[in-house]
Structure 1
Amino acid sequence: MQQENRAGVPPQRSAPPEEHLISMAEKGPFCSAACTCGWRGPARRARSLARRDAAAHQEA
């Protein structure tokens, strides 16, 4: 349950950061990229493909 402020309005989510910071994560044989804006790339077996997904996201 969300907490409400005195005006009865639930708190709002903060805006995503304007700068896109990409991180790479490995889980078992898979690698995926994620961004601070909320974007997540698909899990890939090849790190090079995950890096390519991240580069394409930053260009967009």
Structure 2
Amino acid sequence: MHSLREERDENGPAGADDPPGHQVTVTERGSFAVARCSCGWSAPARRSRDRARSDAAEHGR
């Protein structure tokens, strides 16, 4: 069974500075990290957590 885990960094939860209506989280599933938003958007699964966080930040712009 794969485990899901919300990624957090020194700035708090991923997507903490999201605009209203957008709550982006980065979760891990196995060796992949995925950025997803409450608006329905999702980025491709990445092996790099940093790249998944970048995807989330770019979506918030």
Deviations 1:12-36 (A, max 9, x none): xxxxxx5210111111100000000
2-structure distance, mates of 1:19, 1:39: 12
- Aligned match of 2:59: 57
Structure 2 unaligned residues grouped into runs of 5+: 1-19
Aligned length: 42
Matches for 1:1-60 after TM superposition, within 5 Å = 19-59=21-61
The structure showing larger relative contact order (alpha-carbon pairs under 8 Å, at least 6 residues apart) is 2
Q: Which runs of 4+ in 1 moved over 2 A?
A: none
Give me the CA root mean square deviation: 0.9
Q: Which has the larger radius of gyration?
A: 1
1-structure distance, mates of 2:21, 2:39: 8
Structure 1 unaligned residues grouped into runs of 5+: 1-17
Please give the TM-score of this superposition, normalised by the length of structure 2: 0.65
